[in-house]
Structure 1
Amino acid sequence: MAAEANISSRKSNKSRRETAVQGTNDSSIVSKCSTAACGYYKDPFLHHFVSKISRRAPLIHRGYYIRAVAFDRIMKNFLTQHRGFKKQIISLGCGFDSSYFRLKTADLLENTDFYEIDFPDLVRRKRLLIENTEALNSLIEKVEGKPLSPHLELSCVGYHLLGIDLTQLNTLEAALKMCGLNFEHPTFLFSECVMTYMTRRCSTELVKWAAETFENAVFAMYEQINPDDAFGLFMQNHFHSIGSPLKCINSFPSLDAQVKRFHNTGWAWCEALDMNTFYYQCIPSEEQQRIESLEAFDEYEELNLKYSHYFILTASTSKQSTSLISEDVTVQYPSFSQPISDAFTLTLAPSEHQSVRRFGHSTALVNGRYAITTGGFGEIDGRHQRLAEITITDVDTLMSYHVLTSSPDVQYSRMHHVSASLRDGTVYLVGGRQSPYFMCSQILKLRLHISCDQPNISCGESQNFERAPQESEEREIHSRNGLQNMNSEESHVAESKHCSKSEENYSEKPHADSCATVADSAIDLSKDICDLKICDSNVSAEINSRLGGSVGDGGPGASNISSQFRQCWDFDLGQLEVDVVSQTGDLPQERWRHGLVTVDSHGKEKLFLYGGKTKSGGVLDDCFLFDPDSAEWHKLSCGGELPGPRHSHCLSFWCGQVVLTGGLDASHTPVGAVHVLDLTTMTWRTMDLQGSLYPRYSHTAHVSGDNMILVGGVNLHHPPPGVGVLCLKTRVAQEFSLPKQKKDSLLMFHRHSSLQTNPDQVIVFGGGGNCFSFGTHLNRTPVMLDISQCLSLKE
């Protein structure tokens, strides 16, 4: 009885797994139908296999588009290659695929027999749909008489539908023979995300069986690879959670492993491309532009990560003189030197402090101690949404405090904006979007007032937040990406001294906006505003007047900028004041995914803006200076080696120059070049790099002495970038790989923000994204990166 129970249990488990795998077909066909309905490709038959049409997200559309285009190209190349001969096409794990009906109406199946194979229950459902749908039933001509095989659900002239488990190879071969398949005729076999659900042994036996059984065959396969990075692990977790684990992905984790498997099982020729390579090198630019124009899109990171984790493979039993995938295009594989591994460590904040969970946000450092994180996409009360909440993190204690802002008049909830801080502690928020169709036009000016009655916070000027003066000065310098308190002439003098780290003793005195200034001003009003949750412009003006020009005002009498709207928000540490700034001058076009950095221009602090994306989808190449005192924009006219259109890049300031790293160009291709703008001559030049620096975008960048630190990002290749270090003086670069991911604390280093709080440490806030159809991942942060070894190895 026990043995029978065990057998019954195994059968039940197997049945559940098969049902879960079949469930992926139902989800997939809805996505394919939505993709076709939105104009990505033409397929008038998919909707017949869907009970209810649902529109999917643009990211999912692009994922299914590339899959359909790849198979369509390979299949048509096969049919063309064997024109005039009797041919056979076998769909392994066909699901509700409509390829037969699409090719039939296009008159491409002349002298061709089409066989579809999948689980018996699924093909039974497909047969009923075909028989009860006139548009489908009219394209088949049933063969009268008794079925030749009990596995044959539908037998038609040129079309056969069989219900067989693909692990039962003897049954499969026998059923195909009974249907009239000829193993000597040219045969095209293909599978879409099928063998990855099979065990390593079963899937390899299927590949080997096809090579040994067919005399002249081509095999095409589309599946997942690269299981070990954060995206790969998240992808695996998704399929495991729905009961259809990717059993084969860890056995053949790379393109090389997949190709090697086919060679080892008897295939004479094999090629494989990841989908980034296929899209960018095998899809004509005109077609790429058409796809870009179909619908608003802003998930480049997840698209490139998804494409790098899927591949298309073709194999042949005979040598091929030309590629079936890339047609006449010669695929160029980039050559990168291997990054140095185990060179930096990650330390997660204690679980009770891991509260900054969002992406597409921005973070700025105030007074060397407080990180102000604004906007982004995250989770509130179990719901994923754009955030209006502002988070203030004490970088010493890693405690975070959340300010729940809300106003119909202020654009708090925004994504892909940028923020920058001034020496006086003022933070400016510029640009961003609330949706791909609604841009943010407001500039927000944030000022933080810390109350002295907070525990563990000292307000005396000499104590300076309980830090030694030198540490405070280091924090101030690093919080501003290396911006020195000097005029242009002093900047050039510093540059002539090489601006080297060894010569920098961080001897500048902190600006007058130290904690004592902030807190002492705020405490005077503590009785008046202790119960205040929000104040209008008049109340704020009174507070501002009594503070005598607090943080962000640059001192008494400096607050002459017209404010359209002002709000004040109390939180556990004190108060956050927000102004909507009245802008003047050459107002920039509304944009998101742009770059912004605080610079020293003729001895005065200003904000430098470059590039970004527009509502219409265009990529900008313009640049502006913003004067915080007058709130006036000035459009710049620059010469030299212009960077060109760019978005999702980073801007930094070093020795009187703006340094632009990475980003996506007008064709949304990652850029590896580093561009430098001399603010005195307004001339761009391209830095001649030595060593290895990956193309990347959606990264963060910091200047430490002469070193540029690039954190994370995305490109078209695997694995994703870790930390890049570039010596701006010698132009020598080196890449350092990310540590091995932990399954219970995945970290995706894109759409994040980061701050360099001392020369050896970077703190990362947020990051993650909407990972295709697998769900949304939000990093648990803050996370500390110890980069001391990277800097020492670089030197």
Structure 2
Amino acid sequence: MADIPHLNTLRSGRGGLRGRGFRRGGRAIPENDDISTLPLESEAQTRDRIIQQTDNDASASRLSAIQLGYLNDDYAKELAQPREPVTRRYPIINRGTYVRSQAIDHLMELALNDETQACRQVISLGAGSDTRYFRMSQNYRVQYHELDFEANISTKRAAFERSSELTSHEKRYTMTGAAHHLHAIDLRELASDDAPTLPHIDWTLPTVILSECCLCYLAPDTAGAVIRYFTSRLQSSVGLILYEPIRPNDAFGKTMVTNLGSRGIHLQTLKRYHSLEAQRHRIKLAGLDAGQGARDVYQIWESEAWISRAERERVEALEWLDEIEEWKLLACHYCVAWGWRGQHFSETWGSLEGGKMDEELRQDGVA
């Protein structure tokens, strides 16, 4: 569960967006800047390690949101490093973490919940410290696969070994028919001609593929090949959920790119999949042509189809947020996109509104 770090100190000024912590000197994001082709292995390893460590930011943000009451998650602390203090994030970050989690959970629950209570499958790319397996398995019988670098998978396995609570939950859910598989793999291996066969995946089950700020770190063609690795093998209904940054070309987006570039973080898909419509088109080209949808985080926050008025009022009461314009700017630069093929997802996701909106077109500079 990767994150985009250091976007929590935004301030506006006469010269445009400024941020304490934003630095000049980053380079633009080239397409297909695949780090596997770098001539210096040490540089490639360094950039991989930077990507792996973004999971620490995501975990810290989630713990902050949990501690303040935005989210209810009994498992996140068990996966955190022992005795690691919880750092309180800025209100706009806590709210963004909340909306991100709620939107993905909503899509996931719709996909897993049906009258037959049949087993469903989830494949989570770059899962890191995500706790969604435990939260989903409380109510659904799910085969859950998490793929990530060996370093992140080892950290998660170590958490299981030291936490009797996680171990007991794992055993209990296994008895109800759930299963949890951790795959230590560099996702780029799945894009090669001799891609390995992943064990334990049932290619006949209706399956959700989740990329929560993961594929954006790969070259666009590589990211597409990773998606096709699964869609070409899965024989039943398939749904894809993406959480990614968008809109890199306005003032905020340029600042975001520069800041991250100065820290060695390059969002390689951002240029090609820069808008909500580009994300929808991307999903359709991946073979998920039965339906596609996309909404930015601010649209989700404002929509009662995603978050009820009562729930929004509850969240607003948790912290005073006087940075309304900054919250809107931040939230408009991240999106949740989804698409599918097959009857199962047409029935569960088909009623969600995710098409073009007038406001979206204006923000993308189309209208």
**TM-score normalised by the chain length of structure 2:** 0.80
Shift of the alpha carbon at 1:40?
Answer: 0.9
Contact 2:260 2:266 in 1 (8 A): yes
2:59 alignment counterpart: 29
- Decide whether aligned partners of structure 1 residues 326 and 27 sit closer, same or farther in structure 2, where only a CA change above 3 A counts: farther
Contact 1:94 1:118 in 2 (8 A): yes
Q: Over residues 628-657 of structure 1, what are the superposed CA-to-partner deviations in whole Å (9 max), with x where a residue is unaligned?
A: xxxxxxxxxxxxxxxxxxxxxxxxxxxxxx
In 2, the alpha carbon distance for the partners of 1:135 and 1:117 equals 22
2:328 alignment counterpart: 304
Shift of the alpha carbon at 1:318?
Answer: 2.2
SS at match of 1:213: coil
In 2, the alpha carbon distance for the partners of 1:44 and 1:76 equals 18
Q: Over residues 664-688 of structure 1, what are the superposed CA-to-partner deviations in whole Å (9 max), with x where a residue is unaligned?
A: xxxxxxxxxxxxxxxxxxxxxxxxx
SS at match of 1:139: helix
In 1, the alpha carbon distance for the partners of 2:93 and 2:179 equals 33
2:314 alignment counterpart: 290
1:94 alignment counterpart: 127
- How do 1:245-394 and structure 2 match up within 5 A? 245-268=266-289, 269-281=291-303, 282=305, 283-318=307-342, 320-321=345-346, 324=349, 327=352, 334-335=357-358
Shift of the alpha carbon at 1:82?
Answer: 7.1
1:41 alignment counterpart: 71
Q: Over residues 436-467 of structure 1, what are the superposed CA-to-partner deviations in whole Å (9 max), with x where a residue is unaligned?
A: xxxxxxxxxxxxxxxxxxxxxxxxxxxxxxxx
Shift of the alpha carbon at 1:170?
Answer: 6.8
2:205 alignment counterpart: 185
**TM-score normalised by the chain length of structure 1:** 0.38
- How do 1:665-704 and structure 2 match up within 5 A? none
Shift of the alpha carbon at 1:10?
Answer: 2.6
SS at match of 1:210: helix
Aligned-residue CA RMSD (Å): 2.8
1:228 is aligned to 2:249: yes
Contact 2:121 2:206 in 1 (8 A): yes
SS at match of 1:295: coil
Contact 1:314 1:325 in 2 (8 A): no
Contact 2:216 2:267 in 1 (8 A): yes
In 1, the alpha carbon distance for the partners of 2:218 and 2:37 equals 20
In 2, the alpha carbon distance for the partners of 1:304 and 1:337 equals 13
Instruction: Kindly provide the amino acid, as one letter, of the partner of residue 207 in structure 1.
Output: I
Shift of the alpha carbon at 1:157?
Answer: 6.5
Q: Over residues 37-76 of structure 1, what are the superposed CA-to-partner deviations in whole Å (9 max), with x where a residue is unaligned?
A: 1111210111122222111111110110010001110111
Q: Which moved more, 1:67-76 or 1:308-317?
A: 308-317
Number of matched residues?
A: 319
SS at match of 2:320: coil
Contact 1:78 1:188 in 2 (8 A): yes
Unaligned runs of 5+ in 2: 1-35
SS at match of 2:349: coil
Instruction: Kindly provide the amino acid, as one letter, of the partner of residue 276 in structure 1.
Output: Y
Instruction: Kindly provide the amino acid, as one letter, of the partner of residue 277 in structure 1.
Output: Q
SS at match of 1:113: strand
Q: Over residues 295-347 of structure 1, what are the superposed CA-to-partner deviations in whole Å (9 max), with x where a residue is unaligned?
A: 111111121111211111111122654563975xx568653798xxxxxxxxx
Contact 1:116 1:162 in 2 (8 A): yes
In 1, the alpha carbon distance for the partners of 2:59 and 2:110 equals 24
Q: Over residues 228-278 of structure 1, what are the superposed CA-to-partner deviations in whole Å (9 max), with x where a residue is unaligned?
A: 001111111222122221111001111111111121221122111112221
2:144 alignment counterpart: 114
In 1, the alpha carbon distance for the partners of 2:247 and 2:93 equals 19
Contact 1:88 1:187 in 2 (8 A): yes
User: Aligned to 2:238, which of 217, 224, 246?
Assistant: 217
User: Aligned to 2:181, which of 149, 160, 166?
Assistant: 160
In 1, the alpha carbon distance for the partners of 2:190 and 2:266 equals 22
User: Aligned to 1:195, which of 215, 237, 248?
Assistant: 215
In 1, the alpha carbon distance for the partners of 2:287 and 2:178 equals 32
Contact 1:275 1:310 in 2 (8 A): yes
Contact 1:141 1:157 in 2 (8 A): no
In 2, the alpha carbon distance for the partners of 1:12 and 1:305 equals 36
Q: Over residues 545-567 of structure 1, what are the superposed CA-to-partner deviations in whole Å (9 max), with x where a residue is unaligned?
A: xxxxxxxxxxxxxxxxxxxxxxx
Contact 1:211 1:317 in 2 (8 A): no
Contact 1:117 1:161 in 2 (8 A): yes
Shift of the alpha carbon at 1:18?
Answer: 0.9
Unaligned runs of 5+ in 1: 1-5, 143-155, 339-716, 721-736, 738-795
- How do 1:59-74 and structure 2 match up within 5 A? 59-74=92-107
1:429 alignment counterpart: none
Shift of the alpha carbon at 1:77?
Answer: 0.4
Shift of the alpha carbon at 1:719?
Answer: 4.9
1:13 is aligned to 2:43: yes
SS at match of 1:56: coil
SS at match of 2:231: helix
Q: Matched residues, percent identical?
A: 27
2:21 alignment counterpart: none
2:167 alignment counterpart: 137
Contact 2:280 2:338 in 1 (8 A): no
| Structure showing greater relative contact order (alpha-carbon pairs closer than 8 Å, 6 or more residues apart) | 2
- Decide whether aligned partners of structure 1 residues 8 and 242 sit closer, same or farther in structure 2, where only a CA change above 3 A counts: closer
* Larger Rg computed on CA atoms: 1
Q: Over residues 479-507 of structure 1, what are the superposed CA-to-partner deviations in whole Å (9 max), with x where a residue is unaligned?
A: xxxxxxxxxxxxxxxxxxxxxxxxxxxxx
1:623 alignment counterpart: none
In 1, the alpha carbon distance for the partners of 2:233 and 2:357 equals 37
- Decide whether aligned partners of structure 1 residues 240 and 323 sit closer, same or farther in structure 2, where only a CA change above 3 A counts: farther
In 1, the alpha carbon distance for the partners of 2:248 and 2:282 equals 17
- How do 1:594-673 and structure 2 match up within 5 A? none
SS at match of 1:167: helix
Instruction: Kindly provide the amino acid, as one letter, of the partner of residue 363 in structure 2.
Output: H
In 1, the alpha carbon distance for the partners of 2:359 and 2:158 equals 53
- Decide whether aligned partners of structure 1 residues 231 and 323 sit closer, same or farther in structure 2, where only a CA change above 3 A counts: farther
